[in-house]
Structure 1
């Protein structure tokens, strides 16, 4: 299964200001999510965000929202977003079949959302670099469990290049100029 941008939606789960300080690798996950969110915006892939009980955990991290040019925000009480009827119905109405999923905490809200998406028949892509929890081992367990249930683990670069599909377009040139340069401590080698 290859990702196609016209079939994709990027879903970011609970990158909330009150939760992130307790998350191991939370800043790195946020950086990767922001980067792919910017790429998604350029490529007109919808970006959705959730907030779990924002009265207690705070709103979405402002730096993430500032990096996005467009998004849809959902507040939820269930750990899994698919248990929220309004969310589930709106997602179904998009006719998107490929969901790229990331967020915190990987073993709770991200995992339960992922399992719900798989159960509903969506192709699920677990964006590994942008999934984090308080304890690193729980991220590993969540990824193993969701992949054993049918998800595919992916990286930011995998997703971006599959969405771009080819290198001889004006869109690729714009993406390369703006986003496909080395980021964080990683060096990106291409052409």
Structure 2
């Protein structure tokens, strides 16, 4: 079970034209917005990434505006765990033992970064309705491969209810407003 005191969120490469080209992009972007807002409501640490932004473009405005004033970590490797700045940012959140992961593309950067986190001993919960690829088949391939490698597969509602735990929690009403 997820515990808010030991959970963080990693947002992978929701940027440029690709964010609009992934399968069911409107649904995906909307769910990522909800996940980020919920993480903020729960005071979870958030780290976000951009893959080669000079070539692929910056994080899309809907997501960037939610994450400001955080700055993205620019990377060029598909596995963010091969980037020293990312590893430092992850390690700086010393209380975090489990990372929720969302973003694009499920079968490339999301997959490789999640594997990198697993290899470093972190728990990984892939938020299945907050990841995307250009094709549904590639999204499913990434999810299945991560499940087989030991990542937990969750959904937006599932992880939020796990994190909040109790309908009397002060954050519950805000979270309920996001997912209903």
Count of aligned pairs: 179
Instruction: Please show how residues 5-154 of structure 1 align to structure 2 within 5 Å.
Output: 5-68=4-67, 71-95=70-94, 96-154=96-154
Residues 119-160 of structure 1, C-alpha deviations (whole Å, 9 max, x = no match): 111000011001111111111111111110000110000111
Unaligned residue ranges in structure 1 (runs of 5+): 183-191
2: CA distance, partners of 1:133 / 1:168: 37
- Structure 1 runs of 4+ aligned residues shifted over 6 Å read none
Change (3 A) 1:72 1:3: farther
**Do the aligned partners of 2:47 and 2:89 also contact (CA within 8 Å) in 1?**
no
Mean Cα deviation higher: 64-73 or 96-105: 64-73
Give how far 1:22 is off: 2.1
Cα distance between partner residues in 2 of 1:5 and 1:113:
21
TM-score (norm 2): 0.93
Cα 1:20–1:89 shift into 2, 3 Å? same
Which SS does the other structure have where 1:60 is aligned? coil
CA shift digits 1:72-95 (9 cap, x unpaired): 521101001101012112211211
CA distance, structure 1, for counterparts of residue 103 and residue 87 of structure 2: 18
**Distance in structure 2 (CA, Å) of the matches to 1:103 and 1:175:** 20
Larger Rg: 1
Q: Equivalents in 2 of 1:116, 1:94: separation in Å?
A: 16
Aligned mates of 2:71, 2:119 — CA distance in 1 = 23
1:89 match: secondary structure: helix
Describe how 1:157-168 pairs up with structure 2 within 5 A. Answer: 157-168=157-168
The RMSD of aligned alpha carbons is 1.5
Structure 2 unpaired stretches of 5+: none
